[in-house]
Structure 1
Amino acid sequence: MATTTDPVPGAGTRTGKGLADTFIPADPESGTGRFPLRTTLMGVVGSVLVLIASFGAAGVLVHDPVLSQGPLSWIRYGHGKVLMTGLLYVGFGLVVWAWVRLGRHVLAGRVGARPVVIAALSWMAPLLVAPPLFTRDVFSYLGQGAQLLHGLDPYAYGPAALDTLPTVVENVHPLWQTTPAPYGPLFLWISQHIVGATGENVIAGVIVTRLVLLVGLAAVLWALPKLVRKLGGNLAVTMWLAVASPMMVIHLVGGPHNDLLMLGFLAVGVLLALDRKHALAVGLVTVGMLIKPTAAIALPFLVWIWANHLPAERSLCRRFVAAVTPALGIFGAVFVAGTWASLGSFNLGWFAGLSAPQIIVNWLNFPSGVGEAVHTLVKTIVDVPPGPFVDVARGLGWLALAAIAVRQWWLARHGDDNTTIFRMGIALLTVAIFAPPTLPWYLTWGFVVLALFRWKRTHLAAVVGISVFLVLVYYPTGEQSLYHWWFIVGVVAASLYAAASLLKPDPLGLVAAWRRPDVRRPELPLSSPTSRSSR
């Protein structure tokens, strides 16, 4: 390969490697301090367009007290809704374009972490008052909180069993009307108090839920710089990847999703573990588990960090026992106390509720997709139902998940802090991909942790494409588009173009062709040069 120079500050001159193959340098303070004003404003304009269009095209209320009967009711139906949907995609495209431009600034060392965070927050701000984007999960949060508020066990019944607060219940997606809650008791307690404050005002309930979940974002923003300094990543890249991406802006904030609050507890817990405050770290991550059970994946890795911080002259087995014993005690105490305080009893029904989301079957979950693909092939020969194929594939997927997660945990036993946290991120990402269902925002579990480390440019470009894809595979209303194949072809094309744009502006030369001046040779004159000169 031809010799090239890596122009990123802090990397120096590198030979023998192409620009796309070099790692981004571990320079958490990189950037000249310039503020990317035009790029930030582009994202703000896009976010405002998403906000405006969301009132007709996103997860709107069944009976909207503001728009249903007013002069703007047309945006919720027919051609008006189509227009708003198109406008929302235009706004989303501007947000993605701004994010990719911001990424190019970061990779070139023109901006540091602070401008990235300011840009991300400015893109999030308009969405705080928008209807739910690309999901309707927040209505389930409110419905389950209403159940708890009125004495109905959300782990035994779905929101449809609630007779009171019909305005809240009617907006829950039909799929979740009769299914028990899959969330931790602490989050249901939070939802209960949100509904207690907002009552049947669902619009206020959505906005207050977003504001509460921003506590998780604040925790992430506080912990990431300290984690990057400990783990050797690049802070500007980390903030661009974990905070400014469409996965955070559109999914976790625009959604909104309680994964954001869980990630806040997880990030702070990991930081405390690296600071050797192990008891507090285990306690906080257990609290995160009481928000969303996924945080439990991190706890075994925290035990290895604890064990590896103990005196090295002791054997690994003795250090493990010395770490896991108090960790189990702290976990048990926080788990029991948190469950009792949230529900008023030691109700473990939420473990059964974890199976509820598995009724979602689509190819975004890798094992489910394999099962559906095999069924499609077999069905060309004999007409058989898809259920057995999906069930078998999911069973094998669970085995693969267990093998990968246990292997990552076991390989971390002799590792330093960097290795252990990296393998934790891999385990979280594996759970999101292999455990049914795979919903797009689930991949933020691993992305936020893995963003702490050094990345190759080509890998960052892949994350850009994946992030755009994971937003667009659901419609703004929250319904999936995974089996509308021509739409998916367009989604894949848009995702690939966004990925390529990180490494090369205008990769297809579309803008350049539009701006290129007319360089065609002028037509030859009818008369010869000799005859012209003789005149």
Structure 2
Amino acid sequence: MPPTGTDAGSTVPIRTLVLGLLGYALLALGGVGAGGTLVRDPLIADTALTWVRFGHGRDLATAVLYIGLALAVWAWVRLGREVHARQVGARGVLAVIGAWVAPLVLAPPLFSRDVYSYLAQGNLALNGLDPYQVGPAALPGTLTDNVSWVWQNTVAPYGPLFVLAAKGVVAVTGENPVTGVIAMRLVMLVGLGLACWAVPGLARHLGGRASTALWLAVANPLILVHLVGGAHNDLLMVGLMAAGVLLALERRHAAGFAVVTLAAAVKATAAVALPFLVWVWAARLSGSPGRRFLRAGAAGVAVFVGVFAMTTVVAGVDLGWVAGLQTSSTIVNWLSLPTGAGMLIHWLVSLVFDVSNGPFVTVGRLLGSLLLAVVAVRQWWRSRDGGPGAVRRCALVLLAVATLAPATLPWYFSWPLVLAAGLAWRLPALVPAVAASVWLLLVTFPSGDTALNSWGYLAGATVCAGLAAVSLVRPDPLRLSDGWATRSRSAP
């Protein structure tokens, strides 16, 4: 057996690659009619192709998209079997990822419309308005027209580095939403590249295999469809965060703190990793435990303040994004466990009393925040030995943030996944990971609307997720090939 963190197979699985490539190409094609489409698409407006956005045309586009999604999931599970059998190594997985991403680069936004908000916020900054003070509606135009009504008057909750990136994209592409989406996606792909570089290194430190980690955290359709296809800035954040954590594990502590700070300057969630990196740094210093902690903490704070301040000055903004973090509370769905608990209790009470759900959701979220604080402090304190153990506990806290925060969206689970993928995953643990990934992939409609209240659809999504998970350990669980072979033998 090869040593931990290495891979025996270097073959590129051509059939699996082509299967997934076909799936993602169909996803991109179906997204033209069924994805997060533009209010007025300059590429097909006033042409014979407009039929794909309405009626039976949209139904056909939706069918094509879901066929592509099924092929993409099938290819991913098949790749997982090949990785587990050590037929495919890290280089083979990277080749597959590159091929699968290619069709998504030019695709319309898939399963989300958030990228239009990013562009509108960049347009505000480019025109001298503060995206931390006003929402997209303050600057009417083509970009603003495509922002969801929920976010029209909402200030940006993102850090200065992301505002700077969005501003730069709009400076290059102007108010053309098509080229703007593609350019924004290319910026996000920097995060994918960083993840491809960092995840194998994390596996080396955390005891896992590089090929398994890449398959689980990067080739995963939850990541490719939602973060690449949806062009979410979470992709840039997790890539920077993973790279920074790896640098810290490689004893380049100041550089690690700087890169994770850049991740937090995209989206504040990445800052969760910084206190854990203090322990990693302290473990490599000499002296008493208290003295080592103070030295590492002071150095880490100095790096954080310096990098964040520089980024803020270059972006030309202030700290208004801190207040903007509250905007996510607008999202109310039961994927957030505290919110879901409040909704469930309200439903039970409403069987007897006619009351608003607001207080129940508020109390649920308050209790969830308290529980999250307890979990975070407890896990941080247990990370005092530093090293890989601190990273494992950091991933656990990121999982707690994703599930216990007031608002949760499916792609939030990429936060812990990019770090946890480097652990020594055994096949029994990978089965529920596949099920969760596929289920989270499916609980949003291609247009970006949530499917969490469509119970019949969710039942189907659960069946599909279970089938994908079983397929990881038992190819062809429905025994379709046996039936085909039987019919072939009985044919004259």
TM-score for both structures, normalised by structure 1: 0.89
Amino acid at match of 1:374: I
**Which residue of structure 2 aligns with residue 51 of structure 1?**
28
Return the offset for 1:368: 0.7
Q: Is 1:317 matched up with 2:287?
A: no
Separation (CA, whole Å) in 1 of partners of 2:184 and 2:334: 30
- SS at structure 2 position matched to 1:482: coil
1:326-349 Cα distance to aligned partner (Å, 9 max, x none): 211221122222112112x5x111
Which one has a bigger Cα radius of gyration? 1
The aligned counterpart of 1:93 is: 70
The one of 478, 484, 487 aligned to 2:454: 484
Q: Does 1:139 align with 2:116?
A: yes
Answering whether residue 423 of structure 2 is matched by residue 450 of structure 1, we say no
Match of 1:231 in 2: 206
Question: What code does the residue aligned with 2:292 have?
Answer: R
In structure 2, what residue type is equivalent to 1:103?
G
Which amino acid letter does the alignment assign opposite residue 426 of structure 2? K
> Unpaired segments of 5 or more residues in structure 2?
none
- Spell out the pairing of 1:499-514 with structure 2 (5 A cutoff): 499-514=469-484
Letter in 1 for 2:346: H
Check if 1:410 corresponds to 2:381.
yes
The residue aligned with 2:347 is 376
What letter corresponds to residue 96 of structure 2 in structure 1?
A
Q: Which moved more, 1:213-222 or 1:186-195?
A: 213-222
The question of whether the paired residues in 1 share the 8 Å contact of 2:206 and 2:424 is answered with no
CA contact (8 A) 1:134 1:471 kept: no
Determine the C-alpha separation between the residues in 2 that align with 1:68 and 1:423: 51
Establish whether residue 419 from structure 1 lines up as the match of residue 389 from structure 2: yes
Stretch of structure 1 that moved more, 184-193 or 257-266: 257-266
The one-letter amino acid paired with 1:315 is S
Of stretches 130-139 and 246-255 in structure 1, the one that deviates more from structure 2 is 246-255
What's the offset of the Cα at 1:297? 0.2
Q: Which has the larger helix fraction?
A: 2
| Structure 1 partner of 2:321 | 350
- The answer to whether structure 1 residue 167 and structure 2 residue 142 are counterparts is yes
Structure-2 separation of matches of 1:249 and 1:494:
18
CA contact (8 A) 1:142 1:195 kept: yes
- The CA distance in 2 between the partners of 1:48 and 1:268, in whole Å, is 29
SS in 2 for 1:354: helix
**Cα deviation digits, residues 274-309 of structure 1 (max 9, x gap):** 122212211111111111111100000010001111
Q: Deviations over 1:339-384 (max 9, x none)?
A: 12112x5x11100000001110001111111111111111111111
Q: Alpha carbons of 1:69 and 1:515: their partners in 2 closer, same or farther (altered >3 Å)?
A: farther
Instruction: Output the CA distance in 1 between the equivalents of 2:206 and 2:261.
Output: 23
1:290 matched to 2:261 = no
Please tell me the residue identity of whatever aligns with 1:411: R
Deviation at 1:519, TM superposition (A): 9.0
State the Cα deviation string for residues 473-511 of structure 1 (Å, max 9, x = none): 110000101101101110111011111111111223244
Query: Are 2:274 and 1:299 equivalent residues in the alignment?
Result: yes
Q: 2:128 aligns with which of 151, 156, 174?
A: 151
Question: 1:317 offset after TM fit, Å?
Answer: 1.2
1: CA distance between counterparts of 2:468 and 2:405?
28
Deviation of the 1:202 alpha carbon = 0.5
Instruction: Report the residue type matching 2:433 in the other structure.
Output: V
Larger mean Cα displacement after TM superposition, 258-267 or 134-143: 258-267
Query: Aligned partners of 2:479 and 2:375: how far apart in 1?
Result: 42
Secondary structure, in 3 states, of the residue corresponding to 2:48?
coil
Quote the sequence identity (%). Answer: 48
**Residues matched between the structures, number:** 490
Match of 1:265 in 2: 240
Query: 5 Å matches for 1:518-533?
Result: none
Question: Which residue matches 2:10?
Answer: 33
Question: How far has the Cα of 1:518 moved from its partner?
Answer: 8.5
Letter in structure 2 aligned against 1:289? A
2:301 is matched with 328
Verify the 8 A CA contact 2:199 2:421 in the aligned structure 1: no
| Matches of 2:6 and 2:305, distance apart in 1 | 40
Amino acid at match of 2:8: G
1:300 maps to amino acid: P
Match of 1:6 in 2: none
TM-score (norm 2): 0.97
SS at match of 2:265: helix
Q: In the alignment, what sits opposite 1:532?
A: none
Task: Give the corresponding residue for 1:474.
Answer: 444
Structure 1 residue runs of 4+, over 3 Å off? 517-520
RMSD: 1.4
For residue 466 of structure 2, give the secondary structure of its aligned residue in structure 1. helix
Give a deviation string over 1:395-443, Cα, whole Å, max 9, x none.
Answer: 00001111111111111012x4111111111111111111121111111
